[in-house]
Structure 1
Amino acid sequence: MIDADRLWHSLTTLAEIGAYDDERTGLRGVNRLALTDADAAARRQVAAWMEDAGLAVRVDRMGNIYGRREGTDPTAAPVLTGSHIDSVATAGAFDGCLGVLGGIEVVRTLNERGIRTERPIEVAVFTEEEGVRFGTDMLGSAVAAGRLTLEYAHALTDRDGRTLGAELARTGWAGDTDARLDPPYAYVECHIEQGPVLAEHGVPVGVVTGVQGISWQEITVHGRAAHAGTTPTHLRADAGLAAAQVILFLRELVDSGEYGELRATVGHLVVHPDLTNIVPARAEMTVDLRNPDDAQMARAEAALAAYLRELEGSRAGLTFSTRRMAKTAYVAFDEGVQKTIAEAADEHGLAHLSLLSGAGHDAQEIAALCPTAMIFVRGEYDGISHNPREYSTPEACAQGVDVLATTLLRLAGAVHV
């Protein structure tokens, strides 16, 4: 059993880095976008905890951090665990952080109990998992797994034009080791569920079967600025109106039931020139599509593209441009690692169920390199996440990390107790 109080102290201490008072909820939230000063400070704290736990820390050219606990066979491929510590702008204390700090807590526990493993165990912190600053989610793990190139990632810019490569250098997290990760023996990620399923069933642990497909696009609507009082409605090319029509169309796609378990979100929308008495000349919006069926996802994307063409033809002076931000297919996790997680939960007397993840995770990228699965920990308040109300209890967090510890031990091979 891990030290539940120590794990909770780590979680609450890290949550103070980038903390803010959220006016909407009246709660303390976390704003720690990737490679901001707050993220850099959090990285320093986590790296210090790794070193205190005896881990050998290395940083790659993508800024991914790895802490290694050597095994009795240092030539063996390691068992990898971890997650991310960057956040959205309105986050809670658990998303990603539980997986990183849980991994460190497992190492502390092994040290205290004198347990050695045959295989090395490594704890990872992946860069820019959220994707909210540089526009591509699971970025650090995607480069580590080879799906995206280091050059592509370094050239990505935030909304102020700062490149990821420059921000790595500015914050001191441009490492010198190869960003392409040698295939681990296995990867296990512990994460808060970010959904209501475990709470609804009264179950503390989820064994994650895979991650649904994710599609991110940026759509720019080009219209024509005009005076709000003098321009007749039928002569307007209103970019704001067109953006609203796209939002309604996406909801119609979802409600139709014709595209499987499709979910659609427009999370960013801004109009230009953004003035009260001017018809918008341009609107910029993002579209987030999720679907566990890749074929249904492709059909939904095609329907959206056709609708944009239809809108273009409906009004003179109205055009659309699109940019692909990110796309990942449905990923199925390894059945053997899932079985090991389920057996570990049974050993701790914890009920569990199998479920698909609706959110994206670093595990879906690392699954391309090695057998991979995830442990979900129950959240409270209907599993709300990306919100200061995100919460899991100390007991639930400890239970999930206990399962993680036993799973890692079985995969790495305990040789001395």
Structure 2
Amino acid sequence: MTIASTGMPPIQAAIDGERLWQTLMDLAVIGATPKGGCNRQALTDLDREGRELLIRWCKAEGLAVRFDAIGNVFARRNGSNAAADPIVIGSHIDTQPTGGKYDGCFGVLAALEVIRTLNANGIETERPIELVSWTNEEGCRFAPCMMGSGVFSGQLTLEDALSRTDVNGVTAGAALEAIGYVGDDADRPGRFAAYLEAHIEQGPILEDTGDTIGVVTGALGLKWFDVTVTGMAAHSGSTPMHLRQDALLGATRVVEAVNRIALAHQPDGRGTVGAFQLLPNSRNVIPGQVMLSVDFRHSQAEVLDTIVAEFRQTLDAIARETGLSIEIATTADYPPQHFDADCIAAVRQGARANGYAHRDIVSGAGHDAVFIGDIAPTAMIFIPCEKGISHNESEYATPEDVTAGANVLLHATLSLAGVAR
């Protein structure tokens, strides 16, 4: 399914960069951390405060606001053709526990700024434009990540999503109800004419090349696993080395294997162990069990499958050689995504029209656009972030790059939505 661009928008308008920057800083106050970042995790009271502020801004622009059964927030600006499917723009406003001000938030507030700019310039589009803020993109409190867009696109059932629990045993459904954002049944796929998402790169490529805009052509596929290595907890002083069943020793071999396998599949191979839990975690007890997360990514589905097969074979070998028990459970499985050619062209033209240095780029991170790309024409816009740092309180994007990304989003949105005659 594709949508043809209408070409260069006949009306020239530009983003108010100072207003956009101030909006970003105002949202960042909610959940602000001492080190200058944000802790506004999904379905918390702080998330509710962020949603309420966003909705106040949307209503001030005359937008019709609704939210669905998983709490995704939509804000609609009508077009001259009320029956037409909308152009949808946005991202998410939930953060990591030690997150930054820009990840996700930039995309939502750039979308708001696009609508503010259209309103300020009296521009009517043919298609409606909808701002969206997806629920629980980060997945740090409730797994999996991209939960709201996953339910919307049919990748995840509503019942499954609402049943997920945090570390305290609270379900996502109970948390959603507690903040007051249980809406109508989730919208079904196929309602978007196109979807555009602006985002910080979360990597170092644009900064390294000196380009202002990344024209995102797709995203790496990913497979997540929880691995449990089980041995025998025993006294560290009275158990000889050759009689130990040290789960941590086996887990270190798993970590090494993740790195080695990913390095063997370059340039797009990625392998990460990001979470590690040790039991009983006592200085004079040999570790009896280790739980760790594994994250593999690649741009080609067949190569990603090969990586996983090699990893499973390696786990079997480690278990045989050490006598340890190793269990593996899949927690996420997203294929590589290739975005829509017309939407990509609209983004590329937006960068050219504004005179921004740009390059095609594949996203190494997961985004809501990956799921929406399965049900609607989709593309993304990247801007640089300092040193490629994200999911960190020191995350930073310059006001100039923030403005540039929003200007490209404005141009691409107008190109796809059309300007009413």
TM-score > 0.5 by shorter chain: yes
Q: Which amino acid aligns with 1:12?
A: M
| Matching residue within 96, 111, 117 for 1:109 | 117
Aligned to 2:374: 368
Aligned to 2:83: 75
Q: Which amino acid aligns with 1:376?
A: F
Question: What is the CA distance between 1:254 and its match in structure 2?
Answer: 2.6
1:202 aligns with 2:210: yes
Q: Distance in 2 between matches of 1:238 and 1:128?
A: 37
Aligned to 2:294: 287
Aligned to 1:312: 319
CA contact (8 A) 2:224 2:333 kept: yes
Q: Distance in 2 between matches of 1:129 and 1:391?
A: 19
| Matching residue within 2, 20, 29 for 2:33 | 20
Question: What is the CA distance between 1:181 and its match in structure 2?
Answer: 4.2
CA contact (8 A) 1:191 1:376 kept: yes
Q: Distance in 2 between matches of 1:7 and 1:362?
A: 22
| Matching residue within 39, 43, 67 for 1:35 | 43
CA contact (8 A) 1:150 1:179 kept: no
CA contact (8 A) 2:262 2:296 kept: no
Q: Distance in 2 between matches of 1:354 and 1:263?
A: 19
RMSD, matched Cα:
1.4
Q: Which amino acid aligns with 1:323?
A: A
Look up the SS of the partner of 1:94 in the other structure: coil
Q: Distance in 1 between matches of 2:185 and 2:143?
A: 24
Q: Distance in 2 between matches of 1:259 and 1:235?
A: 39
Question: What is the CA distance between 1:10 and its match in structure 2?
Answer: 0.8
Q: Give 5+ residue unaligned stretches, structure 2.
A: 1-13
Aligned to 1:52: 60
Look up the SS of the partner of 1:116 in the other structure: coil
1:301 aligns with 2:308: yes
Q: Which amino acid aligns with 1:38?
A: L
Equivalences, count: 408
Farther off after superposition, 176-185 or 348-357: 176-185
Aligned to 1:331: 337
Aligned to 2:365: 359
| Matching residue within 12, 23, 27 for 1:10 | 23
Aligned to 1:267: 274
Q: Deviations over 1:130-185 (max 9, x none)?
A: 12222212111111111111111111112222111111111212112434344200
CA contact (8 A) 1:254 1:262 kept: yes
Q: Distance in 1 between matches of 2:205 and 2:265?
A: 24
Aligned to 1:321: 327
Farther off after superposition, 235-244 or 266-275: 235-244
CA contact (8 A) 2:262 2:307 kept: no
Question: What is the CA distance between 1:405 and its match in structure 2?
Answer: 0.7
Aligned to 1:400: 405
| Matching residue within 388, 398, 403 for 1:383 | 388
Give me the TM-score of the superposition, normalised by structure 2. Answer: 0.94
CA contact (8 A) 1:126 1:140 kept: yes
Aligned to 1:146: 154
Q: Give 5+ residue unaligned stretches, structure 1.
A: 22-26
Q: Deviations over 1:101-120 (max 9, x none)?
A: 01011111111111111110
Q: Distance in 2 between matches of 1:377 and 1:82?
A: 15
1:128 aligns with 2:136: yes
| Matching residue within 150, 155, 160 for 2:168 | 160
Percent of aligned positions that are identical = 43
Q: Which amino acid aligns with 1:175?
A: G
CA contact (8 A) 1:143 1:179 kept: no
Q: Which amino acid aligns with 1:407?
A: A
Q: Distance in 2 between matches of 1:310 and 1:135?
A: 30
Q: Deviations over 1:201-225 (max 9, x none)?
A: 2111111010011111111112211
Q: Distance in 1 between matches of 2:266 and 2:302?
A: 9
CA contact (8 A) 1:154 1:165 kept: yes
Q: Distance in 1 between matches of 2:153 and 2:66?
A: 17
CA contact (8 A) 1:348 1:403 kept: yes
Q: Deviations over 1:333-377 (max 9, x none)?
A: 111111111112221122211111111111111111111101111
CA contact (8 A) 2:91 2:132 kept: yes
Q: Distance in 2 between matches of 1:134 and 1:329?
A: 21
Q: Distance in 1 between matches of 2:202 and 2:356?
A: 19
Aligned to 2:92: 84
Q: Distance in 1 between matches of 2:217 and 2:198?
A: 13
CA contact (8 A) 1:59 1:177 kept: no
Aligned to 1:24: none
Q: Distance in 1 between matches of 2:384 and 2:331?
A: 30
Look up the SS of the partner of 1:415 in the other structure: coil
Look up the SS of the partner of 2:328 in the other structure: strand
1:237 aligns with 2:240: no
Look up the SS of the partner of 1:30 in the other structure: coil
Q: Which amino acid aligns with 2:341?
A: E
Q: Distance in 1 between matches of 2:267 and 2:242?
A: 37
